[in-house]
Amino acid sequence: MKKLILSAIVLLATVVAFAQSEKFTAAMKKNLSAMDSSFKNAPELLNVANNFERIANAEKNQWLPYYYAAFCQVNYGFMEPDKDKIDGYADKATLLIAKADSLSPNNSEISCIKSMIASCHMMVNPMQRWQEYGQESSSNMDAAIHQDATNPRPYFLKGQGLKYTPEQFGGGCKTAKPQLQTALDKYATFKPASDISPNWGKERVENLMKDCK
């Protein structure tokens, strides 16, 4: 009888865990779909960021919702026309990605977001902030490559950064194209760990390559 009761308890726990996992995945997929469309309407990115943060607060052992909340915040920072407000969005993204980092250290995808956040801070005043934030962005891209050599996103970020750097400072299409091509090559073979794992950037790289032609 004790064995039967124990088996029933284990079975019930398994069913509950599976149901919770399915609910989490469904919520993530819904917000990932909303995130993709929100890039055409920037303020929606903040709504999606808040949704991901709510998921993260409910599922405190999952790094992905914190990651995507930070991703939305920093991308909104890049779109914010008022430079006085950009640091605030980058700072919020930093808090969120730090939580993701605590749950999944030495993660290439998280290092990419850290690099983006540094670039976001830098764009407020590139001439004054390059020495601090340019180095921070670059070091995080290098860390992302070291942590996962198959990840195309650090190469995408490197190529994108070079494309928009003036030629007199070592940028432009000529220096950007090798990085962008490496990113494309890696996108061709990259397989995300799950349906909700990071898999963004390929279309953007293709557009950047077209611009450089």
* pLDDT interval class at 1 (50, 70, 90): low
Residue 15 predicted with pLDDT over 50: no
Quickly state the pLDDT bin for 21 (edges 50, 70, 90).
confident
Closest CA to 161 of 113, 124, 208, 129: 208
- Asked if residue 139 belongs to a domain, the reply is no
Locate 134 and state its tokens: 């340019």
Mean pLDDT of 151-164: 96
Which residues, at least 6 apart from 150, have a Cβ–Cβ distance to it below 8 Å? Answer: 186, 189, 190
> Which residue has tokens 């819904």?
30
Domain extent, residue 191, equals 150-213
**CATH value at residue 17:** 1.25.40.10
Higher pLDDT, 19 or 167: 167
* Report field, pTM of the whole predicted structure over 0.85: yes
82 shares its domain with 16: yes
Question: Mean pLDDT of all residues in the chain?
Answer: 91
One domain for residues 113 and 162: no
Do 22 and 98 sit in the same domain of this protein? yes
On the question of pLDDT at 9 being above 90, the answer is: no
Chain segment 70-91, per-residue pLDDT in tens: 999 999 999 999 999 999 999 9
CA distance 183 to 46: 28
Same-domain check for residues 84 and 161: no
pLDDT classification of 10: cutoffs 50, 70, 90: very low
Residue owning tokens 């609910």: 23
Residue 117 lies in a domain: yes
Sign of CA dihedral 178, 183, 187, 190: positive
Say what the pLDDT of residue 169 is.
Answer: 83
Report which of residues 174 and 16 the model is more confident about. 174
48 and 106 in a single domain? The answer is yes
pLDDT tens digits for 42-75?
Answer: 889 999 999 999 999 999 899 999 999 999 999 9
The last residue of a domain, from among 125, 142, 176: 125
Please list, residue by residue across 70-82, b when 16 or more beta carbons sit within 10 angstroms of its beta carbon and e when fewer do.
bbbbbbbbeebee
Residue 8's pLDDT is 44
Q: How many domains does the chain have?
A: 2
Positive or negative: CA dihedral 36, 38, 40, 45: negative
